Amino acid sequence: MICGTSNACQFNTCNAGFCISAVLLCDDLDACTIDSCDPDLGCQTEPDPAPVCQPTPVAGKLLPLDSTALFLAGIQSMSVWMIPTVIGLAGVGVYLVKFRANRG
């Protein structure tokens, strides 16, 4: 008994005089791909051009950077370690000024 031809998407076989046909399911369970089956190549997957499937920035809308705002935010958030650093730098500056004044 001839059960038809098989291809990469459909498998046909005979078992005890009955034709058994199995179709290859190509769903990759990704909503942003278009899945199909080519009889010669088998499962094919292409990106879905729908707007909901286009990549979006993780944090939402990208905004231009304002360096002043970033600097002020950095000062406010890091003031715990910046205060001793600034005081230390000021102390070194005072020392250098006094050292040069005493040399000359």
How far CA 19 is from CA of 4, 6, 8, 23, 98, in Å, comes to 9, 12, 17, 13, 101
Domain locations in the chain as residue ranges = 10-52, 67-103
23-42 pLDDT, tens digit each: 888 888 888 899 999 989 99
Query: Would the pLDDT of 67 be above 70?
Result: no
CA angle in degrees (0–180, nearest 5) for 69-77-80: 140
Place of tokens 């000024």: 97
Q: How confident is the model at residue 13 (pLDDT cuts 50, 70, 90)?
A: confident
